[in-house]
Structure 1
Amino acid sequence: MAVNVETLEKLERKITLSLPMAAIQTEVESRLKKLARTVKMDGFRPGKVPMNVVTQRYGYSVHYEVLNDKVGEAFASAANEAKLRVAGQPRITEKEGAPEGEVAFDAVFEVYPEVKIGDLSTAEVEKLTAEVDEAAIDKTVEILRKQRRTFAQRAVDAPAQDGDRVTVDFEGKIDGEPFAGGKADGFQFLVGEGQMLKEFEDAVRGMKAGESKTFPLAFPADYHGKDVAGKTADFMVTLNKIEAAHLPEVNEALAKSLGIAEGTVEALRADIKKNLEREVKSRLLGRNKQAVMDALVAKAELDLPKSVVQAEVDRLIEGARADLKQRGIKDADKAPIPAEIFQPQAEQRVRLGLVVAELVRANNLHATPESLKAHVEELAASYEKPEDVVRWYFGDNRRLAEVEAVVIENNVTNFVLSKAKVSEKAISFDELMGQA
């Protein structure tokens, strides 16, 4: 039987479902009889409760349950018959004026859109490239040296300078009144490394052990301590001790302490280069993938199913609540989070998901078993026992599904890059790593 599908607007559709009352009643009676065999009620032995009593107690809920099931089955059958790709859950309401012996319902729902992807040969993508140069290796060596530095007390008359570790007592007041977190004794920090606000560091830099100083400090308007944000405090600081940093020499001892089996500086630098190149490759892939996805979405035309966008908004809100809970925020699950702040992000995610799915379907860009295995092996290569990591991924379908999604994204990226107008732009290692 042909299904009459009414178009309401854009992706919204309506189907009228008719169900024979006799079939519903038969199913209700069948379920009540089954229930009567096991139901327990005061005053009756199990299985001996009279049917009229069972019907009186459970009739309404069983009727509601059967109706729900039958309407759901009728909707699924009608949607399948009409070859509709239903998005989200239908809104079902009972319809007046059904023929005698029948009950009718209107099912209003959305369908997934037709996605039209334009000519990708006219899409423009800027592809970034970057190299690991000697300066990047030098900088990493310095970071490793800093992580292993030791400190020794300076002479009494030596002023504090960048790189020194200082021990101070301080107290701050706002309008002559102390404030929470404004006082500490025996407090240590490294000068010139941004651990303290700039005005605090500037005041301590150049002081000698045993000296005291007072100075004003203006807290930024966005300071994490809301009670003092945007206010100016008067601080008194006393410098108790200055310790100069000693960085280990770049030699065989340093290489061995960092786990380099050969124990040479050359092997250490080669190992650093290998790790940095892996990180550069990953970051370039991420940046270029985003550029490709932006270009792809710009070439696509589609309407967004409101129900799918709303489901994504709900998911983002739940994620935000989980994040608040992890940070220790009280009653995070009840936190008022306005849905509209996630609306643009949800729309963008749904749009991208639908466009990528269409491109994958139309061009057979699915992940093959071979490409999955190759990607997992690449992920495992940086670990001490790669075979254990490979087994870990293949031992869980959820982990493998995440890998599959990445492989498909990479397939889409490579496909678009093969079609689009690609211009390469070389950027520095620092710029790529966000250190520029």
Structure 2
Amino acid sequence: MTVEVPAAEVENAVNARLNEAAKTVRINGFRKGKVPMKVIRNRFGAGVRQEVVGEIMSRSYYQALSEEQVKPAGQPKIEPKTLEEGKNLEFVATFEVYPTVELSDFSKIKAEKLVAEVTDEDIDKMITNLQEQRQEWEEVKRMARNGDMLNIDFVGTIDGEEFDGGSAKGTNLVLGSDRMIPGFEKGLVKAKTGSEVKLELEFPEEYHNKDVAGKPVVFDVTVNSVSAPKLPELNDEFFAAFGVTEGGEEDFRKEVKANMERELKKASRNRLKTELMDQLLETHDIDVPEALIGAEINVLRQQALQQFGAGAKNLDPSMLPDDLFREQADKRVKLGLILGEVIKQKSMKADPERVRETIEDIAQTYETPDEVVNWYYGNKEQLETIESAVLEDQVFDEVLEEAAVKEKKVSYEELTQPKQEDTDSKKSKTKKKPAAKKPAAKKAPAKNADADKK
């Protein structure tokens, strides 16, 4: 876009700025406010003109966008063409624009909705998982078996020589955890306290330490102790740990079931939502602006760095190259443009009632729900996060109404523990912000225990 500004407008702005400067500038030999304009212009003219021209170009650029009804994606590259004093100011702004999105026919979308019921067997498994999360270890005087925890000393040698990282003392190892190289844990099954075991193994070819990868190794292991897992009893103390202080095991099972059903509902909706979003991406051909992809890459990179916690402060962001996030960023931006077009065409806004229901649903998993609700409504950033999620769900419902959806009955485990490739699926870019620390302790198990262990 080429923008031209009359020379008179530029000169008037420069003169006005110089006149303002003349009122306050101090120059030796002149009283304050009495410095001749010729002196002011000679001393400050070039700098003031450069400053004014920059401001005019910025203002004129945005004014031109408004007049031409153009929506830029990202910042422009501005190149001056004419800057000479006395001539019209002319510059060229180069930038990407948001693409035109033509929505596809949602009625052609076919999806499968997975549904399940929580059975008594599912509840039993969940309670066992919860017990395992709080299990203790008790030393036993028998041969070790899978699931036991051994305290061991070991020394590893390659060609009779010890190597870095190949020895340890007093380390705990749960048999069957696959922490060690293949054959190590299996070789300690049936060992007893005081046993000395020689393991002749081989490092995998793909082992992370290239110095030892693929090489034969001998480990001399001393078993200091063997401990078996001891599950906590199902008593009032155990139930209270999950916020259930009355009603004993019967009410505890009801609480667990309620949370599992909540998880089922959420999982079913998320799986269906993922499938619909995948199809939206496949049925829309959009030329995604590189500026938007670049911005999203930066968001994803920062999120990745945050996962490192305090250690992220010492990490160089360039260690995470753009290509690592480009595919995901492209999909998120594309999906955001599609959803944004639906919101625009339908004039949609977050439904206050659904926002309230969502917050109250979250609050029910905490000990003091009213405090949690007040916390969300008193925290603008977190409230906007919920509103964004609700609006995205409303768009999802809009697509769902037109799509052809069939139900398929599956087990609780199948629905709540999707395959890894499903969990890595495309996510909407209706703008969300990182969640802040939540305000209260949880009331009862709201998540699948296996997932918590992972």
Q: TM-score range by the shorter chain?
A: 0.7 to 0.9
Count of residue pairs brought into register by the alignment? 419
Aligned residues of 2:152 and 2:171 also touching (Cα < 8 A)? yes
1:168 equivalent in structure 2? 152
Deviation at 1:256, TM superposition (A): 4.5
- Residues 1:152 and 2:133 are matched in the alignment: no
1:84 equivalent in structure 2? 70
Deviation at 1:181, TM superposition (A): 2.8
Which deviations, in whole Å up to 9, do the C-alpha atoms of 1:165-222 show, x marking residues without a partner? 3221111123333233322222223223444445221111111222211113334455
Deviation at 1:428, TM superposition (A): 2.4
The 3 A distance-change label for structure 1 pair 228 and 433 is farther
The 3 A distance-change label for structure 1 pair 241 and 192 is same
Aligned residues of 1:316 and 1:342 also touching (Cα < 8 A)? yes
- The one of 239, 242, 245 equivalent to 2:226 is 242
Aligned residues of 1:117 and 1:301 also touching (Cα < 8 A)? no
Aligned runs of 1:51-200 on 2, under 5 Å?
55-56=41-42, 58-95=44-81, 101-155=87-141, 158-200=142-184
Select between 240-249 and 65-74 the one with higher mean Cα deviation.
240-249
1:233 equivalent in structure 2? 217
**d(CA) in 2 for partners of 1:99 and 1:54?**
17
Deviation at 1:365, TM superposition (A): 3.1
Percent identity between the aligned chains?
37
Which AA in structure 2 matches 1:123?
Answer: I
Aligned residues of 2:79 and 2:93 also touching (Cα < 8 A)? yes
Q: Note the aligned Cα RMSD (angstroms).
A: 3.1
The 3 A distance-change label for structure 1 pair 213 and 71 is same
Aligned residues of 1:255 and 1:263 also touching (Cα < 8 A)? no
Aligned residues of 2:82 and 2:88 also touching (Cα < 8 A)? no
Unpaired segments of 5 or more residues in structure 2?
420-454
Which AA in structure 2 matches 1:417?
Answer: L
Aligned residues of 2:109 and 2:276 also touching (Cα < 8 A)? no
2:199 equivalent in structure 1? 215
Deviation at 1:329, TM superposition (A): 7.7
Aligned residues of 1:212 and 1:239 also touching (Cα < 8 A)? yes
Deviation at 1:40, TM superposition (A): 6.9
**d(CA) in 2 for partners of 1:89 and 1:118?**
30
- Residues 1:340 and 2:323 are matched in the alignment: yes
The 3 A distance-change label for structure 1 pair 286 and 232 is farther
Question: Does the residue aligned with 1:106 lie in a helix, a strand or coil?
Answer: strand
**d(CA) in 1 for partners of 2:134 and 2:302?**
41
**d(CA) in 1 for partners of 2:308 and 2:46?**
42
Deviation at 1:229, TM superposition (A): 4.6
**d(CA) in 1 for partners of 2:300 and 2:71?**
24
Deviation at 1:70, TM superposition (A): 1.2
**d(CA) in 1 for partners of 2:244 and 2:171?**
36
The 3 A distance-change label for structure 1 pair 146 and 86 is closer
Question: Does the residue aligned with 1:115 lie in a helix, a strand or coil?
Answer: coil
Question: Does the residue aligned with 1:431 lie in a helix, a strand or coil?
Answer: helix
**d(CA) in 1 for partners of 2:42 and 2:107?**
69
1:420 equivalent in structure 2? 403
Question: Does the residue aligned with 1:118 lie in a helix, a strand or coil?
Answer: coil
The 3 A distance-change label for structure 1 pair 47 and 197 is farther
Question: Does the residue aligned with 2:356 lie in a helix, a strand or coil?
Answer: helix
**d(CA) in 2 for partners of 1:425 and 1:76?**
53
**d(CA) in 1 for partners of 2:32 and 2:188?**
84
Select between 144-153 and 92-101 the one with higher mean Cα deviation.
92-101
- Residues 1:366 and 2:354 are matched in the alignment: no
Which AA in structure 2 matches 1:211?
Answer: S
Deviation at 1:61, TM superposition (A): 3.5
- The one of 378, 382, 399 equivalent to 1:399 is 382
Which deviations, in whole Å up to 9, do the C-alpha atoms of 1:88-133 show, x marking residues without a partner? 2222222369997312222223322211112111111222223322
The 3 A distance-change label for structure 1 pair 403 and 329 is closer
Deviation at 1:387, TM superposition (A): 1.7
**d(CA) in 1 for partners of 2:289 and 2:388?**
22
Aligned residues of 2:236 and 2:245 also touching (Cα < 8 A)? no
Deviation at 1:426, TM superposition (A): 2.8
**d(CA) in 1 for partners of 2:29 and 2:271?**
72
Aligned residues of 1:126 and 1:423 also touching (Cα < 8 A)? yes
Aligned residues of 2:194 and 2:223 also touching (Cα < 8 A)? yes
1:6 equivalent in structure 2? none
TM-score computed with the length of structure 1 as normaliser: 0.85
- Residues 1:202 and 2:164 are matched in the alignment: no
Question: Does the residue aligned with 1:192 lie in a helix, a strand or coil?
Answer: coil
**d(CA) in 2 for partners of 1:53 and 1:322?**
55
1:355 equivalent in structure 2? 338
**d(CA) in 1 for partners of 2:84 and 2:136?**
86
Unpaired segments of 5 or more residues in structure 1?
1-14
Deviation at 1:331, TM superposition (A): 4.4
Select between 338-347 and 315-324 the one with higher mean Cα deviation.
315-324
Aligned residues of 1:98 and 1:104 also touching (Cα < 8 A)? no
Select between 212-221 and 321-330 the one with higher mean Cα deviation.
321-330
The 3 A distance-change label for structure 1 pair 151 and 345 is closer
